[in-house]
Copies of this chain bind each other. A is one copy, B any other.
Amino acid sequence: MFESKRILGIDPGLTRCGIGVVHGTVGRPPKFVAVGVVRTNSELTLPERLVRLEEGLEQWFDEQQPDYVAIERVFAQHNTVSVIDTAQAAGVAALVAARRRLPVAFHTPSEVKAAVTGSGRAGKEQVTTMVTSILRLSAPPRPADAADALALAVCHAWRGGHTNRYAAPVAAAQGRS
């Protein structure tokens, strides 16, 4: 069952890894908890940056003690050099979460956009505007990576809740059959 839980959303990246934390309860709008970014110095080597990212994420997990983790899914068709960096940042995020035995979900950018704006093709500004409104923030979260991470957490609060409300009776039905 998905009840009142802390969800930590991660928009993976090496230069800026967005982090957004919300408190979600089924049937209510999620509440804002925290937002920020983990940055790593581009003058470091890639392995060193992964270590810094791990340290930064560990600190967020320690402080926020999330119950669920939502990470943006990385696709190979973003056919650029940076997709490898982003995939590795997402891998470190998944590793840190799984070491703590936290459930990890991956949501695609279009799932996130659809969840917060109603359209899978919404632009970055639209996502930021909707996240600001849904979470009743006094100002839009900056940078965009931070807003995206909050959108991921909001998406997970709604989709996760929905999935689990559906999964529970299904599991119960299967148990009876």
Q: Tell me the A residues contacting B by CB distance below 8 Å.
A: 45-48, 50-51, 54, 74-81, 83-84, 87-92, 94-95, 97-99, 104, 106
Contact = CB atoms under 8 A, between A and B. Distances in A.
Which 6 interchain pairs have the tightest Cβ spacing? A88-B91, A47-B98, A47-B94, A87-B87, A47-B104, A50-B95
A81 B91 CA distance: 14
A75 B80 CA distance: 9
How many copies are assembled?
Answer: 2
A55 to B, nearest CB: 10
DSSP majority for the A interface? helix
B95 A54 contact: yes
A40 to B, nearest CB: 12
B92 A84 contact: no
Given A46-B104, A50-B98, A88-B88, 12 more contacts: A45-B104, A47-B95, A47-B104, A48-B98, A50-B91, A76-B84, A83-B84, A83-B87, A84-B87, A89-B91, A92-B92, A92-B95
Contacts of A51: 95, 98-99
A158 to B, nearest CB: 21
Contacts of A48: 98
Contact of A83 (B45, B76, B97): B76
A91 B94 CA distance: 12
